[in-house]
Structure 1
Amino acid sequence: MTDSDSLQPNDPTDRYTLRSVSRALRLLDLLGEAGGTGFTVTELSAQLGASKSATFALLRTLVAQSYVSEVQPGPRYRLGRAVIRLADSLNEGLGLMDVCRPVMHELTARTGWTTRLAVADEGHPVFIDRVDGPGTIRFTTQLGRREFPHHSAAGKALLSTLSAEQVARIAAENGLPERTRHTITDVSTLMNDLSMSRERGYAIDDEEDDEGVYCVGAAFLGRDGSPLGSISITGLKRDITTWRARELGELVREHADKISNGFGGPSWQEYLLTNPPANH
């Protein structure tokens, strides 16, 4: 047993506290406080009061189990999707469901479409909840799985908050695999699509993920303006007119802003004032 794994109580009255576990939990707390920006090994080491080698070992262990994610350039570290799964199992992780669920039900009631909720994981959507629309048609969603961002409205809504360099890097790392004959599979077309999505405040999946299925999604923002996730609606493509598509898009944007407000974040229009298109 190494020194870092030995019984080393933080409090002399607590004989059974493992220092390595306490440090790992403290590390997760620090990453939670950092939000989307994360920390470097050096920064975490200083805050933990541990050596860089010990801090790095903790990080690699947590990365391997998806509790921490590594982000380039840097690298920098932030919370991973395993934390999301734990939060979702409580059905009220950090108040997420308390804020989002009522808005999702309202959006489904107003549109008659299925509403889905995704959280952001390095520009990728991880769907964690769904409210089905009325009727017999059900749009299945595998919850808790990280998905490609380029062929869904929820994913493209998240990509629209990133810089062109960040989008290009995600595309280079993951590719743009084709789901249907309508899927965007080249970076230039994707950039143009994201530019339009950013300008209007919502993204569209026009049979790009599934034939005959139409989706609209919009990102919601945290207190610091960073994207926390996205909300989207899904329905059949039939009978979608131009005016109806615009109406649905504005409704989704309106409800995403309600979620942003619930977290103390800015509306999309407020966000654009401090994040002009030239930087994206």
Structure 2
Amino acid sequence: MEPSPPEPEDSRYWVRSVARAVDVLELLAARPPGEGMSVTEIGQALGLSKSAAFATLYTLTRRGLVADDGAGMSRRYRLGMALARLGSQALAQTSLRDVARPHLVALARATAATARLATLVQDQAVVIDQVGGNERVRLDLRMGSHELPHSTGLGKAILSWLPPDQVRELVGRVGLMRRTSRTITDVDTLVAHLAESRAQGYAIDDEEDAEGVFCIGSPLLGHDGACVGAISITGLKLDQPAWHYQELGRTVRDAARRISRDLGFDPDAPAVTTVGGPEVVDGAATPG
């Protein structure tokens, strides 16, 4: 499954004001503790007019991402405490990565395929860790890539833990882009497919995101039973019998179960069918 390349700065999706705000944050982050910067200094460092620099700083300050001290010409800017909250969320994701990492290593060795870890961010599965197997042919798989939820093993594994109405809402936002001739592009078919995936504990991308490539994913559950992400293996689709992919699916599912238990998941507790949303209890929780 080939990730989409980064958008160039001249892309129609590139938002200049957002890039400018990130540049300001990066600039302030590079300052020694306690040393802020003036509007003029920031403008000069980034090649911005004083008015453009001030507008960016004003917006970031209102959102708590930047703080200011002093008044008038002596006003200095530094990073705001709202970044600490975002940093805590980033640390929480890093914690998931730390817990999953040894299992990913073992999974890659056991299957001779690339093992990956992802969380759901803005309706897409974002890869936050991966371990290469000893494949003879290496696939171009990159950290931070965004996986479509309906056509990839990681995405479908996460969706399989959502109730059908939430799946339909998510699909309504992101659509069902056809990636190959095998991509599921009908929402009813997708919902039925996800029900089967949940029952067996793993989801299969059978050349649905890229020709000649398969991906098998399984959801990860946290201590409260909510889905916190998914793991998968990815490899080339060869002339293998169906039972081989089912065997790989069970291997991925078992690894996901071990990670979920390390995250504090209790398989005997009521299930919470959500991914960071309202809790929906539907009986005994079984990630596969």
Both structures adopt the same fold (TM-score exceeding 0.5): yes
CA–CA distance in 2 between the matches of 1:190 and 1:236?
A: 23
The yes-or-no answer on 1:21 pairing with 2:76 is no
**Equivalent position of 1:275 in the other structure:** 282
Measured after TM superposition, the shift of residue 123 of structure 1 is: 4.5
Following superposition, the deviation at residue 7 of structure 1 comes to 3.4
Mapped contact 1:126–1:145 kept (Cα < 8 A):
yes
| 1:177 corresponds to | 177
Aligned pairs for 1:132-171 (under 5 A) are 132-171=132-171
Q: 1:220·1:227 contact (CA, 8 Å) conserved in 2? A: yes
Question: For the structure 1 residues 209 and 269, does the alpha-carbon distance in structure 2 shift closer, same or farther, using more than 3 Å as the test?
Answer: farther
Q: What residue ranges of structure 1 are gaps of 5+ in the alignment?
A: 9-15, 33-78
Paired position in structure 2 for 1:208: 208
Distance 1:219 1:93, change over 3 A: closer
Residue 275 of structure 1: how far off its partner (Å): 2.9
CA shift for structure 1 position 179: 0.6
Q: Distance in 2 between matches of 1:112 and 1:269?
A: 34
CA RMSD of aligned residues (A): 3.0
Any idea what the Cα deviations from partners look like across 1:173-228, whole Å, max 9, x if unmatched? 11100110000111011011101001111100011011111211001011111111
Query: Which residue of the partner structure matches residue 106 of structure 1?
Result: 106
Matches of 2:268 and 2:187, distance apart in 1: 24
Note the C-alpha offset of 1:259: 1.0
**Counterpart residue identity of residue 205, structure 1:** D
Percentage of pairs with the same residue: 40
How far apart are the structure 2 equivalents of 1:120 and 1:249? 21
**Aligned 1:239-254 pairs, distance under 5 A:** 239-254=239-254
Q: Is the partner of 1:275 in helix, strand or coil?
A: strand
Counterparts of residues 64-79 of structure 1 (less than 5 Å): none
The residue matched to 1:265 in structure 2 has which SS?
A: coil
Distance change (3 Å), C-alpha of 1:7 and 1:166: same
Letter in 1 for 2:282: N
Q: Secondary structure at the residue paired with 1:258?
A: helix
Q: Secondary structure at the match of 1:120?
A: strand
TM-score by length of 2: 0.64
Letter in 2 for 1:21: G
Which runs of structure 2 are paired with 1:56-67 in the superposition (5 Å)?
none
Instruction: Give how far 1:98 is off.
Output: 2.4
Correspondence for 1:43:
none
CA distance in 1, matches of 2:158, 2:192: 15
Provide structure 2 residue ranges, at least 5 long, that are not aligned to the other structure. 1-53, 71-75, 274-280
- Verify: 1:7 aligned to 2:69, yes or no: yes
Higher helix share: 1
Aligned partners of 1:243 and 1:270: how far apart in 2? 31
Is residue 256 from structure 1 mapped to residue 261 from structure 2 by the alignment?
no
Greater relative CO (CA pairs within 8 A, separation 6+): 2
Query: Bigger shift: 129-138 or 196-205?
Result: 129-138
Superposition deviation, residue 276 in structure 1: 4.8
The answer for the alignment partner of 1:56 in structure 2 is none
- Quick check: 2:113–2:135 contact (8 Å CA) kept in 1? no
When residues 145 and 108 of structure 1 are mapped into structure 2, their CA distance, relative to the original with a 3 A threshold, is closer
Structure showing greater radius of gyration is 2
Number of aligned residue pairs: 210
